Structure 1
Amino acid sequence: MNIFATLQRIGRAFMLPIAVLPMAGILLGVGGAFTSGPLIETYQLTFLQDGTILNRILKLCFNAGLFVFANLPLLFAIGVGIGMANRNKETAALAAVIGFLLYHTVISTVLGFQGLTPDSTSIDALTKAGISPDTAVGLAALYTKELGIFTLQTGVFGGIMCGFLSAYITNRFSEVQLPDYLAFFSGNRLIPVITMIFFIPLGLLMPFIWPPIFKAIVFSGEAFSSMGYIGTFLYGTLMRLLNVFGLHHAIYPLFWYTELGGVMEVGGQVVSGGQKIFFAQLADPETIKFSSEATRTMTGGFLPMMFGLPAAALAMYHCADSKNRSRIKGIFLSAALTSFLTGITEPIEFTFLFVAPVLYGIHAVLEGIAYMLMHILDVAVGITFSRGLIDFTFFGLLQGTEKTSYHWILILGPIYSIIYYFLFKTIILKFNISTPGRNDTDAKLYTRKDFDEKEKSKKPQSKGNKPLIELIVSQLGGIENIKSIDACITRLRVTIHNQSLVTDEASWKAIGAKGIFRSGNAVQIIFGTQAETYKNQIIAKYQIS
């Protein structure tokens, strides 16, 4: 499997645990905002005071959301185990849980042998031992508790590692047949046994190999931070360019959930990763201002997603031929609202990506500038999933300008709309680019009629017509050519045996796809938000494990 296909699989594996974060973040945001003492006092919201029914409900919501962020390493272990397992995914999930607990238990035991305990590794204990305060903070950050187990701070990296190892064990050993006298332990029952064998040595090694790795990761995060605003610009631009290939899912979690995104002490606890820091601060009543250093890999997206791309959709609408405007008005409006409300931008982005890549390049640079501007202006609005009105409301508006400086998004947003509108309109007209509805080309978003026809095609038809999922499988070279199949938000992600059997882009567009990307034995077909549904239908129909 080539590196593109590997990164594609890693990206979709990461998406499984990340999928739980939007709801958890909303519960945390709402619960934290409306149980805030200053907010209750300022607006005289006596019905939300301590002891009231609403206050208790909101605190319940707050704690329900908080537990997710407190246990991200375990969730990543399970999610990566399921995502990277080729088959027997439920067995991989069990192996990930067993392995994760065993891994940290063994580490804790070895640390005990070394005389290291929660008391001896606290900042106070280290400073009393003659270590300088700055060094003591760094050393204390190396240790933590996972599910009550004193262990090394391997965080989400440790969870990902446990997930990969559990998936490898499942893929390698779940089909092994043992002799008759051991037959009970054959197949899936062998996996817990093998898990013990693999994870005990891993736990034994980590106390010796992790400290220098941890320091290297922290150093890399500090190097990224030292790049300042230029680093933020490069991050925003590169993430948007990687989005073309669906590889951004394999990169941004490392900045959001690990030391690469920064390390900060919040409420007496050392927290690693940009998003984790933001939500730790959200949960901390003592936090006066959220850290823009932590949110530098998140906040910048609000300008292009809420304001820029809807304006680009308006520009493409105005550039369409007059006779086609009534036909495309509704679909452009729908795509613009999707971007504004939810931050899901691919319906707009891939519309102009395929007909004018230069527009996508400009969009990527503008997004990088937006990230840099938000960092410069100390704006700190966190997100759970994407950067639309929903996240802006919960993590910007409800938290107030003192904590977030969200007003800059509202000030610069209209300016970004104007820039996107006139840049897109000027380039489209100057170079006569065939955007949807222009020049009578096939470059178009799909109308409600197209959608209805596509829905109809899913059902078995008479006169030889195939359901859509059968067409998809056929155009992938048949079920025998499919090695594995998965989906992210808008893309069907397939690993195939023979690339030459996959049909060309025109064939895919003829059945409703927005486009196709290939690399090695990996294929991505962009279907929009129905991709997950198609994946599930194909797996069910053809019984793909």
Structure 2
Amino acid sequence: MFEKLQRLGKAFMIPIAVLPIAGLLLGIGAAFTNPVMVETYGLTNILGDGTFLYYVLSTMSAIGSIVFSNLPLIFAVGIASGLALQEKGAAGLSAAIAFLVMHVIISTILGFLGHTPETTSVDYFLTKGLDSVEAAKQANVFGYELGIFTVKIGVLGGIIVGLLVAFLANKYYDKRLPDALSFFSGVRFIPIISVLSISVIGAIIPFIWPYIHIGISTFSEFFGRTGPIGIFFYGSLMRLLNIFGLHHAIYPLFWYTSLGGEMEVAGKLVQGGQAIFFAQLADPAVTKFSAEATKYFTGGYLPMMFGLPAAALAMYKTAENKNKKVVGGLLFSAALTSFLTGITEPIEFTFLFVAPILYVIHAILEGISYAVLYALDVSVGVTFSRGIIDFTLFGLLQGNAKTNYIWILILGLPTAIIYYYTFKILILKMNLKTPGRGEDAENKLYTKKDALLKEIDIEEVISALGGRENLTDVDACITRLRVTVKDIDKVASDSVWKDELKAKGVFKKGKGVQVIYGALAEVLKNEINKIK
């Protein structure tokens, strides 16, 4: 299960990786073409309708918007190609075809069942005696995908297609057919079997999805009714899952599917927290972003921009004097990374293994941050993570009236103080071996690619993984080398990785191995794949 979730999380990151640039384009474009902002700051002659910059910024906004409008297809292709071990291109193409076929079949069967745009509208259900809430729920089951009338299965439909096509591609990429049909053997068989298989699923979905959709809506409402308490557990759980890199397999369900709620924006039903935010961002008629949508990510701003940098300061202050010069620059670099970009693992993995109690406290504090900002109706969006860049684009530039961003600034200093003194007191009272403390303390962070690469022998890394013949798949995320091996027993012990190969930590489960190398992980992945 660990191995499969690891690979699934990696596959999720492929489509998610295109979203930051799309979000930036949409954020900048929407912010600087917003009529209220243009008029407020007297920029009509520069950014007003008809100016050159207006056309450029409107185009940027349109580019970003089209990406978020087609997330289901993007996820289908991205997951299929990401999980396919062979013939990734064929898997991606097959997923695109299968996605279209699935929705066409759903649309056809809906027609057979008498479901049309006219018979699935709110007004129609009201004539059948349903109250306005129930009529809206029933109508929300149906909608359009790439111009096809279908059920609103959204990104979940893309995930289903991606998983199915990846499974079929891995199973049949070398399939041999009888001589008379040999042309369709191997890679050409992947789109054929994908279309046949998704046709069965597409024929079933219209009969079961309405009930599933209503169930998910009810569950989401229940989760929302738990208010800040439910969001506290969500925030803490995501931070704890980050240890194993499994959060990538969970949060996209809340960000991009109906599990994260659904809302009508500009006349279209939008599903998922982040998708709702960017739909509202693209709609000039929206005067306040929905905190119900942003509650699944806004809470990260306080710990990422203020909390962890303060924790880094606490580790610096508690380091031995002789080591402060060494660890100071490294901790400052990691703190600045967290503040600017929201990438926190360089700091987190500095204390996770030597002082796990600090990580537990960090997870609890992050959960509290999620709960408090949600309770205060703060609705600042994100692209990839929650640093000052995203805060500026989706908070400051959007205005406090739309986002309530002021609470992040007000609570920033108290958050920093809490993190600083909590970490400092625990480090001193429990004598925790954070960077710069103790004779054998590690006085480095794993963010210096060039220096570390000189210290690590790629052949030794491969040997520690059991040798070339033991490697099935080698990949990496931002901070982790992710490897699937044939025999986990051949993988070196934790002490070898930490003492000899400069790793910050290692996780082994089933046939999956994750080695934490910070920003060096991607470099190591490429080097290993060159010579394995």
Whole-Å separation in 2 of the counterparts to 1:283 and 1:451? 38
Aligned to 2:512: 522
1:391 and 2:390 correspond:
yes
> TM-score with structure 1 length normalisation?
0.95
Whole-Å separation in 2 of the counterparts to 1:74 and 1:196? 15
2:274 is aligned with what amino acid?
Answer: Q
Whole-Å separation in 2 of the counterparts to 1:228 and 1:101? 38
Counterparts of 1:213-252 in structure 2 under 5 Å?
A: 213-252=212-251
1:455 is aligned with what amino acid?
Answer: L
Whole-Å separation in 2 of the counterparts to 1:444 and 1:210? 54
Aligned to 2:7: 9
1:45 to 31, 34, 43: 43
Whole-Å separation in 2 of the counterparts to 1:24 and 1:65? 4
Counterparts of 1:425-464 in structure 2 under 5 Å?
A: 425-446=424-445, 451-456=449-454
- Paired residues of 1:351 and 1:444 also in contact (CA < 8 A): no
1:264, CA displacement in angstroms? 1.4
| More deviation, 256-265/402-411 | 256-265
1:179, CA displacement in angstroms? 2.2
1:349, CA displacement in angstroms? 0.5
1:22 is aligned with what amino acid?
Answer: P
Whole-Å separation in 2 of the counterparts to 1:451 and 1:36? 41
Aligned to 1:531: 521
1:488 is aligned with what amino acid?
Answer: C
Aligned to 2:266: 267
1:286 and 2:276 correspond:
no
1:441, CA displacement in angstroms? 1.7
1:200, CA displacement in angstroms? 1.4
Whole-Å separation in 2 of the counterparts to 1:452 and 1:44? 48
Whole-Å separation in 2 of the counterparts to 1:212 and 1:174? 35
Aligned to 1:315: 314
1:504 to 493, 500, 525: 493
Q: Matched residue of 2:443: which SS?
A: coil
- Structure 1 runs of 4+ aligned residues shifted over 3 Å read 128-131, 450-453
Q: Matched residue of 1:265: which SS?
A: strand
1:533, CA displacement in angstroms? 2.6
Q: Matched residue of 1:325: which SS?
A: helix
Give CA-to-partner distance per residue, 1:24-55, whole Å, 9 cap, x none: 11111111111111111111102111111100
Aligned to 1:464: none
1:123, CA displacement in angstroms? 2.0
1:493 and 2:492 correspond:
no
Q: Matched residue of 2:206: which SS?
A: helix
Aligned to 1:84: 83
Q: Matched residue of 1:191: which SS?
A: helix
- Paired residues of 2:98 and 2:195 also in contact (CA < 8 A): yes
1:289 is aligned with what amino acid?
Answer: K
- Paired residues of 1:79 and 1:163 also in contact (CA < 8 A): yes
2:501 is aligned with what amino acid?
Answer: I
- Paired residues of 2:346 and 2:446 also in contact (CA < 8 A): no
Whole-Å separation in 1 of the counterparts to 2:485 and 2:205? 36
Aligned to 1:24: 22
Q: Matched residue of 2:294: which SS?
A: coil
Whole-Å separation in 2 of the counterparts to 1:364 and 1:447? 22
2:314 is aligned with what amino acid?
Answer: A
2:347 is aligned with what amino acid?
Answer: I
- Paired residues of 2:350 and 2:434 also in contact (CA < 8 A): yes
1:58 is aligned with what amino acid?
Answer: L
- Paired residues of 2:378 and 2:404 also in contact (CA < 8 A): yes
Whole-Å separation in 1 of the counterparts to 2:219 and 2:512? 30
1:482 and 2:482 correspond:
no
Whole-Å separation in 2 of the counterparts to 1:288 and 1:447? 43
1:128, CA displacement in angstroms? 4.0
Counterparts of 1:53-72 in structure 2 under 5 Å?
A: 53-72=52-71
1:476, CA displacement in angstroms? 0.3
1:118, CA displacement in angstroms? 1.9
The number of aligned residues is 530
2:168 is aligned with what amino acid?
Answer: I
| Structure 2 runs not aligned, ≥5 long | none
Aligned to 1:372: 371
- Paired residues of 2:380 and 2:394 also in contact (CA < 8 A): yes
Whole-Å separation in 2 of the counterparts to 1:120 and 1:129? 10
1:181 is aligned with what amino acid?
Answer: A
| Structure 1 runs not aligned, ≥5 long | 458-466
Q: Matched residue of 1:518: which SS?
A: strand
Counterparts of 1:94-173 in structure 2 under 5 Å?
A: 94-173=93-172
Whole-Å separation in 2 of the counterparts to 1:269 and 1:132? 21
- Paired residues of 2:125 and 2:135 also in contact (CA < 8 A): yes
1:384, CA displacement in angstroms? 1.0
Whole-Å separation in 1 of the counterparts to 2:450 and 2:200? 56
Q: Matched residue of 1:524: which SS?
A: strand
1:452, CA displacement in angstroms? 4.0
1:20 is aligned with what amino acid?
Answer: V
1:522, CA displacement in angstroms? 1.2
- Paired residues of 1:355 and 1:443 also in contact (CA < 8 A): no
Give CA-to-partner distance per residue, 1:128-179, whole Å, 9 cap, x none: 4543221221111111111111111110110000001101110111111122
Aligned to 2:459: 470
RMSD (Å), alpha carbons: 1.4
- Paired residues of 1:4 and 1:520 also in contact (CA < 8 A): yes
- Paired residues of 1:343 and 1:387 also in contact (CA < 8 A): yes
Whole-Å separation in 2 of the counterparts to 1:428 and 1:234? 26
Aligned to 1:462: none
Whole-Å separation in 2 of the counterparts to 1:248 and 1:504? 25
Whole-Å separation in 2 of the counterparts to 1:124 and 1:452? 64
Q: Matched residue of 2:293: which SS?
A: coil
> TM-score with structure 2 length normalisation?
0.97
Seen in structure 2, the aligned counterparts of structure 1 residues 451 and 142 have a Cα distance that, compared at 3 Å, is closer
Whole-Å separation in 2 of the counterparts to 1:20 and 1:533? 20
Whole-Å separation in 2 of the counterparts to 1:143 and 1:289? 26
1:522 is aligned with what amino acid?
Answer: G
Whole-Å separation in 2 of the counterparts to 1:440 and 1:104? 63
Whole-Å separation in 1 of the counterparts to 2:265 and 2:254? 18
